[in-house]
Amino acid sequence: MRNLTDLNRITKMSKEQHKGGVGASSKHESATKHVTGEAIYVDDRTDHVNQLHAAIGKSQIAHGRIKNLDLSAVLAAPGVVKVITAEDVPGHLDIGPVFPGDPVLAKDLVEYYGQPIFAVAAKTHEQAWRAAQLAKIEYEELPPVLDVETALAQQNFVRPPHSMQRGDADQAIEDAPHVLESHLSVGGQEHFYLEGQVSSAIPTEDGGMMIYTSSQHPSEVQKLVAEVLGIPFNLVTIDMRRMGGGFGGKETQAAPWACISALLAHITRRPVKLRLNRGDDMVMTGKRHPFENGYRIGFDDDGRILGADIIVNGFCGYSPDLSDAIVDRAMFHSDNAYYLDQVKIVGNRCKTNTVSHTAFRGFGGPQGMMTIEYAMDDIARYLGKDPLEIRKLNLYGQDSRNVTPYHQVVEHNVLPEMIERLEQTSNYQQRRQQIREFNQNNRILKRGIALTPVKFGISFTVQHLNQAGALIHIYTDGSIHLNHGGTEMGQGLFTKVAQVVAEEFQVDLDTINVSATRTDKVPNTSPTAASSGTDLNGKAAQNAARNIKQRLIDFIVQHHGVEASEIVFADNRVHFGDQSISFAELAQLAYVNRISLSSTGYYRTPKIHYDRNKASGRPFFYFANGAAVSEVIVDTLTGEYKLLRTDILHDVGHSLNPAIDIGQIEGGFIQGMGWLTSEELSWADNGRLQTTGPATYKIPAVSDMPADFRVQLFDQRNREATIYNSKAVGEPPFMLAMSVWSALRDAASSVADYRFSPPLDTPATPERVLKAVKATKQFQTNATTRIQAEEEVTA
């Protein structure tokens, strides 16, 4: 019998000998294919015989009724085979994901500029697009609502308002020694995934549909395609191997194009591909919600918050889409990392005649956090203190100072320790001093620095979405086929889940093949969203692997007459008694002995519950944390600036793959920086989006990376029982970019020796930074005049 030392030796050996298990910085499973161009995206799939290409005819007004739709020129255009309108939809017209409100093609009423009205199928992509421009449409125009103020004044909402509260915020503010109030405009954001929206539909022999689509939510596409066609769900199959980026923009926004290509395929009985060009994609798909937020906060002489009254108003666009959950998440993150003693938070879902805004990395959380971070800077300037001091003072802490406005207790709070550490490693205090000196000695160039924290709740706040399934087959050569409900969009989900399975069987990562996400393999899946992909699918895959492993162990016990405790999976082998066979031999042996080598797996997140009517419960299984210090330099004559250095300390628990996690942190931070600095959406007065390509919409370039970029993982395991005690990483780092915005404000504030907190809406473009500098100079001038006047009076 094998003794414990032997077992330990084998287990230890396995760490060295099987490649790519949990904790290894294995490269992304498609890294090589990505850089050689061999990775296949939907549009790279070989065309089918007889395939048609589709394009969309769009509304040219923001709000109105269609009086007359003349499509004769479209139908007569070269190559055109079929033109469809709402009248041609055999099943449901509405494809709203949660609540109704999104007709797949507009019927009578149009509610935003660019709304799909008809679709064309032609022999080529270009023929379809050209034909779609030839429609003659007469409208009866209605006044559009294009701003939040009007929507609020008219109580024009896509969903009813919602609020959460604890204690009596009004009273606490009234009783507080100091009160500040302000408002903040937070801009939206275009997803700018490199691969645009695309779907390819192929009719199947039994009246069903096979769809290849770039979607984060294959099960929802399956449901909606079946519903618009009026056929059962089991006749529709969705296949999704990889996206060229999703970022939330392919959660609901992929479905219309899948439905339209399916409708055209259903009607013509031919395969149909629909790929939006960049301009159409930007006009027709929802973006991050812009927000108009406000706060009124009471605090004591130290800057400790005593009462907070916060309002968040999301621009939802014309329909509910996911806005209810998005504004909820903005509300859930209005505290960010701070204890707000007596608090009231109100969220409005404003209806505007623009495209329906949707999920985008952080799902409303970033827009929610901005307000309290804005207030932190304002309180600091008012009291003449360093903003970091105010932030630290207000962090969630011990005793009763650890309960959120929705009554979830903040457990295992690592942020105070993380901030302490980052303050040290980034040399914050010394650099703050150097920056003060630099600013005193430089009239035109000013530097700024800020440290901002992030606390982000992990779990879908809609409880039933917190579940996942997986499917594993082991073949008789020992190679493993893995499938799960999550989708790959570049974030490394397939790699991490495969690592979990490699760890379970102690085999090399490259013996596992992860195949395309398909609705006929794992059914009824949740969107790959809320950063939960690895948490949910990793556990489901582990469950499937453990089912098979248990069968193999039972088999060895019976077949070889050894104790289960003596069986060890290690280094691509299984050891028992005095024997050791390869994993492939074991698979072969199990097969001939009629042991099933296939299993499904399932997982549901424990501990979570939430009563939305009471706005109370534990919506989040745990929190992911991070903090960043950014330093900028601003030209106060032009408002131009540069990010000089960023230090990040981020909490991913026990990392499943440090290389991929650091990639997510860097990418998320840069994407967040783009949102808060250069990416500005512009709509004309008639509701037409004017920023429809990279020439007018500025995403970060490689030259915008901080010259000095230091990312560290906070390597402490998650105290909750997540997959190998890791933490979700997809969205939280996005919000670390608030440090850049706050640093820009710090630089502007230096112009009045930090006694004034200039307004700085986002994106903080050079124009807005220049405005902030000017407001600060004005404050300085007024203050000087006032002092001179006072001196004259005294003299």
* Backbone φ and ψ of 517, nearest 5°: -70, 125
Residues in binding contact with ligand MOS, number by CB under 6 A: 10
Of residues 403-462, which lie at the interface with ligand QUE (CB under 6 A)? Answer: 460-462
Segment near ligand MOS (CB under 6 A); pick from 112-120, 141-149, 359-367, 517-525:
359-367
Interacting partner of 783 out of ligand QUE, ligand MOS, ligand MTE, none (Cβ under 5 to 8 A depending on kind): none
Q: Does 363 bind ligand QUE (CB under 6 A)?
A: yes
Scanning residues 81 to 110, which ones bind ligand QUE (CB under 6 A)? Answer: 97-98
Task: Give the pair of three-digit tokens for residue 422.
Answer: 């980052």
Interaction of residue 566 with ligand MOS, rule CB under 6 A: no
User: Which of ligand MOS, ligand MTE, ligand QUE, none lies near 97, with the C-beta cut-off 5 to 8 A by kind?
Assistant: ligand QUE
Q: Which residues contact 767 (CB under 8 A, 6 or more apart)?
A: 639
Burial of 547 (0-12, 13-18, 19+ CB in 10 A): middle
497 interacts with ligand QUE by CB under 6 A: no
**DSSP character at residue 404:** -
3-state helix, strand, coil in the chain (%, to 5): 35, 25, 40
The residue range among 312-320, 353-361, 733-741, 749-757 that interacts with ligand MOS, by the rule CB under 6 A, is 353-361
Q: Let me know: does 463 contact 488? Beta carbons within 8 Å.
A: no
What DSSP letter does each residue of 514-555 carry, written as one string? EPPEETTTS-SPPPS-TT-HHHHHHHHHHHHHHHHHHHHHHH
Choosing among ligand MOS, ligand QUE, ligand MTE, none, which partner's interface includes residue 84 (Cβ < 5 to 8 Å by kind)? none
Q: Which is nearer to ligand MOS, 361 or 549 (CB)?
A: 361
Q: Report residue 157: phi and psi, to 5°.
A: -125, 150
When asked if residue 251 is in the footprint of ligand MOS (CB under 6 A), the reply is yes
Q: CB–CB of 53/128 below 8 Å?
A: yes
- Write out the two tokens for 136: 């003659």
- Please, which residues have CB within 8 angstroms of residue 727's CB and are 6 or more apart in sequence? 458, 622, 624, 651, 652, 653, 718
CA atoms within 13 A on the CB side of 410: 30
- Catalytic residue of the set 111, 566, 679, 731: 731
Catalytic residue flag (residue 731): yes
Residue 462's binding partner out of ligand QUE, ligand MTE, ligand MOS, none, with CB under 5 to 8 Å set by partner kind: ligand QUE
- Minimum separation from the CB atom of position 329 to ligand MOS (A): 9
| Per-residue CA distances from 495 to 161, 529, 547 (Å) | 41, 17, 21
The residue sitting closest to ligand MOS, measured at its beta carbon, is 248
Phi-psi region at 248: left, alpha or beta (left = phi > 0; alpha = psi -120 to 50) = left
Helix (H) or strand (E) holding 771: helix 766-794
The partner in contact with residue 533, picked from ligand MOS, ligand QUE, ligand MTE, none with C-beta cut-offs of 5 to 8 angstroms by kind, is ligand MTE
Specify the DSSP class assigned to residue 94. B
Nearest Cα to Cα of residue 614 among 161, 159, 164: 164
Which is nearest to 642 in space by CA: 710, 682, 700?
A: 700
- The first and second tokens of residue 696, run together, are 């007018």
Give the nearest distance from C-beta 729 to ligand MTE in angstroms. 6
Of ligand QUE, ligand MOS, ligand MTE, none, which one sits near residue 664, judging by CB under 5 to 8 A according to partner kind? ligand MTE
Q: How far is the CB of 468 from ligand QUE (least distance, A)?
A: 14
- Minimal CB distance residue for ligand MTE: 533
Residue 489 binding result from ligand MTE, ligand MOS, ligand QUE, none, given CB thresholds of 5 to 8 Å by partner type: ligand MTE
Among 189, 216, 452, 692, binds ligand MOS (CB under 6 A): 216
* Least gap, CB of 349 to ligand MOS (angstroms): 17
530 binds ligand MOS (CB under 6 A): yes
Residue in the structure block whose two tokens are 């929206």: 197
Our CB check for ligand QUE shows the closer of 327 and 775 to be 327
- Is 376 in contact with 394 (CB distance < 8 Å)? yes
> How many residues bind to ligand QUE according to rule CB under 6 A?
15
Q: Cβ(744)–Cβ(632) under 8 Å?
A: yes
Q: Compute the least distance from the CB of residue 732 to ligand MOS, in Å.
A: 11
Least distance from C-beta 529 to ligand MOS, angstroms? 3
The residue assigned the tokens 């409708």 is: 263
CA distances from 709 to 25, 261, 283, 791 (A): 20, 44, 34, 48
Nearer to ligand MOS, 469 or 533 (CB): 533
Torsion of CA 152, 156, 157, 160, to 10 degrees: 80
Is cis: bond before 763, omega within 30 of 0? yes
Contacts of ligand MOS in 643-702 (CB under 6 A)? none
Asked if 325 is part of the footprint of ligand QUE (rule: CB under 6 A), the reply reads yes
Q: How far is the CB of 405 from ligand MTE (least distance, A)?
A: 24
Q: What is the DSSP string of 153-193?
A: HTT-EEEEEEEEEES-HHHHHHHSSEEEEEEEEE--B----
Question: Contacting ligand MOS (CB under 6 A), which of 361, 455, 484, 618?
Answer: 361
Tell me: does residue 490 bind ligand MOS (CB under 6 A). Answer: no
Strands (E), 406-444: none
Residue 334 interacts with which of ligand MOS, ligand QUE, ligand MTE, none, CB < 5 to 8 Å by class:
none
State which residue, 112 or 460, has the beta carbon closest to ligand QUE.
460
Residue 359 in contact with ligand QUE, rule: CB under 6 A: yes
Nearer to ligand MTE, 639 or 668 (CB): 668
Instruction: Give the interface with ligand MTE as residue ranges (CB under 6 A).
Output: 245-248, 361, 486, 489-491, 493, 528-534, 664, 667, 730-731
Q: Which residues in the 193-252 window bind ligand QUE by CB under 6 A?
A: 251
Q: Considering beta carbons, is residue 370 or 465 the nearer one to ligand QUE?
A: 465
Instruction: Return the number of the residue (531 or 776) whose C-beta is nearest ligand QUE.
Output: 531
Q: What is the contact surface with ligand MOS in residues (CB under 6 A)?
A: 216, 248, 251, 359-361, 363, 529-530, 731
| Residues carrying an active site annotation | 731
Q: What is the contact surface with ligand QUE in residues (CB under 6 A)?
A: 97-98, 251, 322, 325, 329, 359, 363, 460-462, 465, 527, 529-530
